[in-house]
A and B are shown apart, each in its own frame.
Chain A
């Protein structure tokens, strides 16, 4: 059973470009979370999705950021018109239930905006 798969592992974008981060949850997990981590900081919740639904996006910036988890395929975190402040590690986690049984994290995507 493969773990949570994220790609790419490293992504470099110029200011103003778009970044697309992909996450395939563990098999059997229908709950997906995206977190952002700055160096020496904790994990900041961004969004919680279930298949085809955004359940909680209270941690997502109102502009430029969007997330989806389509019926088929991976969850996508999309950042439009990236700025230097978007540079961070973005982790996806999945769980079989909502917050109750531990979350399994992917290896993360390290986004660098130059």
Chain B
């Protein structure tokens, strides 16, 4: 079945360092969505990318969608302790009836 994979599973950085998580799908995606879940919290929608090669920025966060629409990345510049959490990517299944989530990348930041 369709799979969405993320690497790394865990990442620890010092405050101020950059962070990147990568997402790969076994199938071409119509769109890719990114979510953040704080420890003990619920997933919060961050952004959606639709076009091949699309790049979107939200302050220190940069999201990219690959040319083949099978991979994506999230890059955080100069991490802060408030960035701590698990970042999930998700793509729609073939039928368009569900989002298939990756297992997430858990980011920890030490000051």
Given contacts A99-B92, A102-B33, A102-B48, contact A45 B42 (CB under 8 A): no
Contact B97 A99, beta carbon cutoff 8 Å: yes
Contact assessment for B99 and A99 in the assembled complex, using a CB-CB cutoff below 8 Å: yes
Question: 0/1 per residue, B72-103, Cβ < 8 Å to A?
Answer: 00000000000000001010110111111111
Q: How many residues of chain B are within 8 Å of chain A by beta carbon?
A: 26
Q: Contact mask A35-56 → B, CB, 8 Å, 1/0?
A: 1000011111100100000011
Residues in chain B near residue A42, CB distance under 8 A: 88, 101-104
Residues A73-114 near B (CB distance < 8 A): 91, 93, 98-108
The one of A45, A101, A105 that contacts B98, using a Cβ cutoff of 8 Å: A45
A-B contact pairs, 17 of them (CB 8 A): A33-B99, A41-B103, A42-B102, A42-B104, A43-B90, A45-B93, A56-B98, A58-B98, A59-B98, A91-B42, A91-B43, A98-B97, A99-B31, A100-B30, A100-B92, A105-B44, A105-B45
Which of B's residues lie within 8 Å of A, judged by CB? Answer: 30-31, 33, 35, 41-45, 47-48, 88, 90, 92-93, 95-104, 106
Extra pairs beyond A42-B88, A101-B48 (6, CB < 8 Å): A33-B98, A56-B95, A99-B93, A105-B35, A106-B42, A108-B42
